[in-house]
Chain A
Amino acid sequence: MIKNCLMVVLIVMLTIMSVAGLSAQDDMEIYALGVALPFTGSFGTFGQDFERGIDLAVAQMNAELEAAGSSIRFETASADTEQTPEGAARALQTIVQTTGAQVVVGPLTTAEVLGAKQFADENGVVIVAMASSGPAASIPGDNIFRVIYPPDTFSSKAFATIALERGHENIVVLHVDDAFGNGMNEQFIANYQARGGGEVASFAYAPQSMELSAEAAAVSATLAGFGDNAGFFCVCFPGAAEAFVQVAQIDPILTSVQWMGNEAMTTDEMLEDPGHAQTLANASFVTVGQSAESTPLTPIFINDFVAMFDKEPGIFTNYAFDAANIAMLTMLAAGNDGAAVKSMLPFISNHYIGTAVQAFLDENGDQAIASYGIYQVREDGSGFEEIGAYDGNTDTITYK
Chain B
Amino acid sequence: MPPALLTTSLVNTIQIGSLYALMALGITLTFSVMKLPNFAHAEYVTAGAYAALIVSLSGSLNPIVILAAAFIVGALTALVSQLAVFKPLEGRQVSFYTLILSSFAIGLIIRYILFTMADYFNLFDLRIQIPLQIVYRQGSLILSNLFALVVPTSILLVIALTLLLNRTALGREMRALANNANLARVIGIPVERVKNVTWLLVGGLAGVAGALWGMQTAVNPLMGWVAIISVFAAAILGGLSSFSGTILGAYVVAFSENTIMLFLNFNFGVDLAYKPAIPFIIIIAVLLIRPQGFTQLIKRGGDLQR
A35-68: CB near B (< 8 Å → 1, else 0) gives 0000011101100100000000000000000000
> Are A246 and B127 touching (Cβ within 8 A)?
yes
Report the count of interface residues on B (CB-CB < 8 A): 46
A218 to B274, CA, bound (A): 14
> Contact partner of A239 among B122, B125, B262, B265, CB < 8 A?
B125
Q: Does A243 contact B (CB under 8 A)?
A: yes
Q: Is the CB of B217 within 8 A of A221?
A: no
- Flag if A209 contacts B275 (CB, 8 Å): yes
Tell whether, in the assembled complex, residue B125 and residue A242 are in contact, meaning their CB atoms are under 8 Å apart.
yes
Residue A272 interfacial (CB < 8 Å): yes
Q: With both chains docked as a complex, state the minimum distance between the C-beta of A369 and any C-beta of chain B, in angstroms.
A: 31
Q: Across the interface, do B127 and A242 meet the contact criterion of CB distance under 8 Å?
A: yes
Residues of A close to B262: CB separation below 8 A: 214, 217-218
B146 to chain A, nearest CB (A): 9
Residues on A with beta carbons closer than 8 Å to the beta carbon of B275: 205-206, 209, 214
> Whole-angstrom distance from the CB of B124 to the nearest CB of chain A?
5
Q: Are A217 and B5 in contact (CB under 8 A)?
A: yes
Q: Pick from B132, B218, B257: contact of A250, CB below 8 A.
A: B132
What residues of chain A lie closer than 8 Å to B273, measured between beta carbons? 177, 204-206
- Contacts A269-B125, A269-B126, A273-B129 hold; do A250 and B134 have CB atoms under 8 A apart? yes
Q: Are B119 and A44 in contact (CB under 8 A)?
A: yes
Residue contact B223 to A275, C-beta cutoff 8 Å: no
Whole-angstrom CA separation of A188 from B122 in the bound complex: 33
Would A243 and B218 count as touching, CB distance under 8 A?
yes
In the assembled complex, A167 has its CB within 8 A of some CB on chain B: no
Q: Which residues of B contact A214 (CB under 8 A)?
A: 9, 12, 257-258, 261-262, 272, 275
Judging by beta carbons under 8 Å apart, are B127 and A220 in contact? no
Within B136-176, the residues touching A (CB, 8 Å) are: 142, 144
Contact call B4/A242, Cβ cutoff below 8 A: no
Per the bound structure, the CA–CA distance linking A163 and B22 in Å amounts to 43
Residues of B within 8 A of A48 (CB): 119
The majority secondary structure among interface residues of chain B is helix
Interface flag for A296 (CB, 8 Å): no
**C-beta contact mask, A180-210 vs B, less than 8 Å → 1, else 0?**
0000000000000000000000011110111
| Interface residue A249 (Cβ < 8 Å from any Cβ of B) | yes
Closest B residue to A45 using CB positions: B124
Whether, in the assembled complex, B208 has its beta carbon less than 8 Å from a beta carbon of chain A, the answer is no
Instruction: Tell me if B59 is interfacial: C-beta within 8 Å of chain A.
Output: no
User: What CA separation (Å) do A209 and B217 show in the bound complex?
Assistant: 10
> A218 vs B12: C-alpha distance in the bound complex, in angstroms?
12
Closest to A314 in B: B122
A275 in contact with B132 (CB, 8 Å):
yes
- Chain A contacts of B226 at CB under 8 A? 208-210
Chain B nearest CB from A197 CB (Å) reads: 22
Q: Which residues of A contact B266 (CB under 8 A)?
A: 218, 221
Residues of A within 8 A of B124 (CB): 42, 44-45, 238-239, 269
Q: Given known contacts A208-B276, A246-B127, is B218 in contact with A217 (CB within 8 Å)?
A: no
Type the 1/0 row for A210-250, where 1 means its CB is closer than 8 Å to any CB of B.
11111101101100110000000000001100110011011
Interface residues of B (CB under 8 A from A): 2, 4-5, 8-9, 12, 15-16, 112, 115, 118-119, 122, 124-127, 129, 131-134, 142, 144, 213, 216-218, 220-223, 226-227, 257-258, 261-262, 265-266, 271-276
Q: List 24 A-B contacts (CB under 8 A).
A: A44-B115, A44-B119, A44-B124, A45-B118, A203-B271, A204-B271, A206-B274, A206-B276, A209-B226, A210-B218, A210-B223, A211-B227, A213-B16, A217-B8, A217-B258, A218-B272, A221-B5, A221-B8, A224-B4, A243-B218, A250-B133, A267-B125, A274-B131, A276-B127
